[in-house]
Amino acid sequence: MTIYIGNLSFDAEVEDIVGVFSSYGEVTNCKLPLERETGRKRGFAFVDMGDDAQEQKAIDDLQDVEWMGRAIRVTKARPKNN
């Protein structure tokens, strides 16, 4: 399962996100997408964790929590439609 984190501060870095989610278990991957044209952050990220139960606990605990001045949205990521 992949976790989607939305409404992120543009100041958030991969290391910051991993730091928050690693308190729930091992973070196996973290992606912070950038705009192609400008290279600026897009305001969301994806996190993969080693255990589904840990991922669900992180989702439950972090949904609508204020972090870096913004109320983040934390949900299961939906599959990308090509």
Which pLDDT belongs to residue 82?
60
Question: Does 61 map to a domain?
Answer: yes
Question: Does 66 map to a domain?
Answer: yes
Question: Does 51 map to a domain?
Answer: yes
Question: Does 59 map to a domain?
Answer: yes
Which pLDDT belongs to residue 43?
96
Report the predicted TM-score, pTM, of the whole model to 2 decimal places: 0.91
Task: Supply 73's token pair.
Answer: 């949205």
Which pLDDT belongs to residue 40?
94
Give the range of the structural domain holding residue 17, as residue numbers without chain letter.
2-71
Question: Does 63 map to a domain?
Answer: yes
- Number of domains the chain is built from: 1
Enumerate the β-bridge partners of residue 46: 4, 31
Which pLDDT belongs to residue 55?
95
Report, as ranges of residue numbers, the positions in the chain whose pLDDT lies below 70.
82
Question: Does 17 map to a domain?
Answer: yes
Which pLDDT belongs to residue 53?
94
Tell me, what CATH number does 12's domain have? Answer: 3.30.70.330
